[in-house]
Amino acid sequence: MAHGHMIPAIDMAKLFTSRGLKATIISTPAFSQPVKTAQNSGFPIDLITLPFPHHDSGLPPHIVSLDQVTSDPTLLPMFFKALSLLQHPFDDLIKRINPDCLVSDMFLPWTADSALKFGIPRLVFHGTSYFSLCVSEEMRRHKPFNDVASDSEPFLIPNLPHQVKLVKTQVSDYNLHENKDDFSRWIQQMRESDARSYGVVINSFHELEPDYARHYTDVLGRKAWSLGPLSLCTNGGNGNGNGNEMNGDQCLAWLDSKKANSVVYVCFGSMAKFTPAQLNELANGLEASGQCFIWIVRSGGGDEEEWLPERFEERMEGKCLIVRGWAPQVAILDHPAIGAFVTHCGWNSTLEGVCAGLPMVTWPLFAEQFFNEKLVTEVLGIGVPVGNKKWQRGANDGVSREAVAKGVRGVMVGGAAAEMRRRAVDYKEMARKAVEEGGSSYHHLTALIKDIATYLPPKKMEIM
C-alpha cells in the first residue's frame, strides 16, 4: 500500500519467523526491496510479487503506491480500483501456496472474501493505535460533530475512558460525511470486511494504552492481539532498504559530537507536504527555539532557495544538521544526544518515539494523526501540541514560527519538560518489557499462534 504500511508488516513477518512460523509477504514489485533487505539480514521471509494492475483502473503507469496519490483526490478512486483488480491473481496464489492464516492490510477489504473462500482466518492490520481505532469508531457511531454550530467549536467524543475533544477541522471528510464519495465508500467497505474477519493485530502494547485495549475488545466487541512495538521486537526500522547509508553515517557522526538530550529530531514521515512559506516558518521557529536540531527534509520538494531563510545553515552551523532525503530514524531516535522529537504523529513514528523514551512536539497533518496527537499529549502526557487544527492531505501551512519555538522549548526546557521526559522513559521501559519473553506482547503472540492452530473455519464457499 505505502511505505508506512510495509515497514511494520515486514517487522511482523520477522516476528512470526522468530517463533518458528513460516511467513510469506505478498506485495507488488514497488515494495520488494525492503523485503529483500530483510532477507539479506538473515530473516527467512518469503516474497511473492503480483504485478500492479494499471489496466482498466485509469491510473497513470508510474503510480504504484498510496504515497503518490494522497495529495490528488481524483487518483484515489482509481488507485483503489487497481487494488481490487488484484483479487483474482491473489486468489490463484492463495490456492497454490495454501497458507494457514492471512494478515491483510486494512485497505484490501476484498481479502475477507478470499479468506472465507479458502477457509482460513483473516487478521486485519490497521497500522495504528487502539486509541485511534476507538476514537474513530465512537465518532462514527455517535456523530458528535453534528451537535456543534461551527467548525471551531470543540465537541466531546462520547463513551471513551477519557474526555477527548476535537473540532471539525481536525476530522477528515470521510469521517464527517459517510458515503459521500468513492473514498468514503471504500472506508465503509473496510469496516464491513473488518466485521467479517477473525480479528485484528495491533502494533501496540497493553501497558501503553490499557484503557483503550479493553475498550476495543470489551466495549466495541473486537477480537484483537497486541504484538508491538514491532520495530522493537525485531530490531527493525533502521534501514528499510533505502540504500543511502551515507546519510545515516553523517547523522550519527554529527550526533556523536553532541551532549545527551541536547538535540531535537524533526521529521514528518514520507507523505507530508508543506508549502514553501510553512517550511520557512518552521526553519525560523527552530532557530528561535535556541535548541540544536537535526531536520529531515523530503527530497524533491522544489527549490530550497524559495523557503530556506537567507544564510540559515551558515548562521546555524554547529547547531543544526539538515538532511535531504532518507535518514535512519530508529537509530537517530535511540541516540543519547536526541532529547525530543517533532513529529507528524503517524503511528510508526509515534511508537518509535515512545520506544526511544522521548517527549514529542506533535504536528498532525492528516489520516488518524490528530487522534494520535490526543493520545500523546492528553492521555500519556508526553507531548506538546504545536497547534495545527487543519486536516489536509495536500501542502500544509498555518503554523507560526512562534508556535514552533514554543513547542520545542516546551519539551526541552523547564520542569514540565523534565516531567514529560520522566514519563516517556517509563513508557520506554514498559515497551521493552512487553516484547521480552513473558511480556504482554509476547503472551499475545503465543495466544494468537494457539488460536490459529485450533481455528475451525465456517463452511467453505465453493472454489471456482
Residues involved in catalysis: 5, 105
Q: How many CB atoms lie within 10 A of CB 211?
A: 14
Find residue 297's DSSP bridge partners: 324
Alpha helices in 299-400 (DSSP H): 312-315, 329-333, 347-355, 369-374
Q: How many CB atoms lie within 10 A of CB 263?
A: 26
DSSP one-letter code for 226: E
Residue 215's φ and ψ, nearest 5 degrees, are -60, -40
Which of these, 142, 146, 172, lies nearest to 158 by C-alpha position?
A: 142
Encode 95-124: b = buried (16+ Cβ within 10 Å), e = exposed. Answer: eeeebebbbbbbbbbbbbebbbbbebbbbb
Q: How far apart are CA 335 and CA 268, in angstroms?
A: 18
Q: Where are the beta strands (DSSP E) in 199-291?
A: 199-202, 224-226, 263-267
Q: How far apart are CA 301 and CA 304, in angstroms?
A: 8
Four-CA torsion 217, 227, 188, 156, nearest 10 degrees: 60
The helix or strand, by DSSP H or E, that contains position 13, with its residue range, turns out to be helix 3-18
Find residue 324's DSSP bridge partners: 297
- Distance from chain centroid for Cα 410: 24
Four-CA torsion 191, 194, 196, 198, nearest 10 degrees: -170
Q: How far apart are CA 145 and CA 155, in angstroms?
A: 6
Which of these, 2, 34, 11, 63, lies nearest to 243 by C-alpha position?
A: 34
Cα dist from 227 to 99, 204, 329, 440, 442, whole Å: 20, 6, 21, 8, 7
Count H helices, E strands: the chain?
Answer: 19, 14
The helix or strand, by DSSP H or E, that contains position 307, with its residue range, turns out to be none
Residues, the chain: 464
Q: Are 270 and 4 in contact (CB under 8 A)?
A: yes
Chain position carrying cell 507528524: 344
Find residue 125's DSSP bridge partners: 105, 201
